[in-house]
Amino acid sequence: MPGPEIIGIIILGALAWLWFDSLRAREAAVRAARAACAAEGLMLLDDTVAIANLKPARDDNGRFILQRAYDFEFSDTGNNRLQGSVVLRGHRVILLNVGSHLAPAERTMH
């Protein structure tokens, strides 16, 4: 009976799509984090992001897409690690957070 084989192929195809789509979304998150850190004069540590959340969402047209949240670490002085995050809906960045950080000169004045 070819039914179970077809279902197995469909499941494998869906998993392959999820894996490939997740790689592309992760690359977009790394680019966004790198650009935000460069714009703020910060260092993106480890040059990577880590998945924090994955959930279904709807885009502006009402279509089903995946929303992913990634965490990353950055430094403003080179000797500390601060948390940042980026949220993508599909492959579009909808939120990027590098937190509140003081410039090194302001930190030493307090």
Q: What is the pLDDT of residues 68-107, one digit of tens each?
A: 999 999 998 888 999 999 999 999 999 999 976 555 544 4
Q: In the structure, what pLDDT confidence band is assigned to residue 108 with cuts at 50, 70 and 90?
A: very low
Whole-model pTM? 0.81
Helices (H), the chain: 3-40, 104-109
Report the Cα 67 to chain-centroid distance in Å.
9
CA distance 105 to 42: 14
Residue span of the structural domain in which 97 resides: 3-109
Does 20 score more than 50 pLDDT? yes
CA distance 13 to 109: 57
CA distance 90 to 68: 8
Predicted local confidence at residue 78, as pLDDT: 82
Number of domains within the chain: 1
